[in-house]
Structure 1
């Protein structure tokens, strides 16, 4: 019982990610984590970040996308592309849930607005996604692009 009480005292981390997909050119906006990033240094990733207390997940997605890339999207234009449920993660010893949205409408051009966290932010062809990619978001992106399963489990025992 002690383990279950301890686990219940720390909430599951809620995270939002955004796939900005230009369907006309079949490219997506990606960022490369800098050598100063908290995790996955040098790896590619989607714009992604933690939800603030009391913040709706769509607002988290809008805020994080703008903070990291300068791209603006309307919360109502976001569509759920994928859900990741991780058993544990960086800053998430009791697990995380990442809701990955897709945006087909945005304003602005991708910029690296957080150069201490990211080495670069840019458009990448959907058929040329870098191999050095954070596993969970790489899976979500691949599954979105191939119309694969909409939910992934990471770090859970296989049954």
Structure 2
């Protein structure tokens, strides 16, 4: 249940109560939404696109805690102190051994994901069509191999999050929500 409460007392809140957020006299006190605590993370994802429109994916090893034996696009958790684009460029270097110039990285979409363990993840998705180096499996301890896939027809063993991101990419959608069921599918 969502609980709407007044923010904790402070000089700023008192000023907003008297003057309102824009200095308008008589404005009402703002309210803040308070929810139960939950796990939250930010991921960065990159759709590395070839000229034929195919997207680079990695197949996770069977020991993967997040996508055992499944294909995903290049990405991972943003590290402390990184901007989203910096995290995306790092993930490309770490996962596929390629370098992309910052100006060649384009924002694609924002994915709001709720996992089966009730973890909430915001995924910033980027695209890149130019890079330096030949992609290779730069993390053989995590992935078994790379594959270029058709984003409009992902393989059946593609992780549900990746399928949803690719579906929205093909449709040109900038934002979408993804809820993973306990059976591993996404809705």
Distance in 2 of aligned mates of 1:45 and 1:80: 18
Using structure 2 for the length normalisation, give the TM-score: 0.71
Alignment partner for residue 14 of structure 1, among 22, 42, 60? 42
The answer on 1:59 being equivalent to 2:86 is: yes
Q: CA RMSD in A?
A: 2.2
| Displacement over 3 Å in runs of 4+ | 125-128
Unmatched 5+ residue regions in structure 1?
none
The answer on 1:114 being equivalent to 2:114 is: no
- How far the C-alpha of 1:65 sits from its partner, in A, is 1.1
Distance in 1 of aligned mates of 2:129 and 2:154: 18
Going from structure 1 to structure 2, the CA distance change for 1:51 and 1:89 (only over 3 Å counts) comes to: farther
- How far the C-alpha of 1:112 sits from its partner, in A, is 0.6
Q: Counterpart of 1:74?
A: 101
Aligned residues: 148
Distance in 2 of aligned mates of 1:89 and 1:49: 18
Structure with greater contact order relative to length (CA < 8 Å, sep ≥ 6) = 1
* CA deviation string 1:37-58 (max 9, x = no partner): 1122111100011111111010
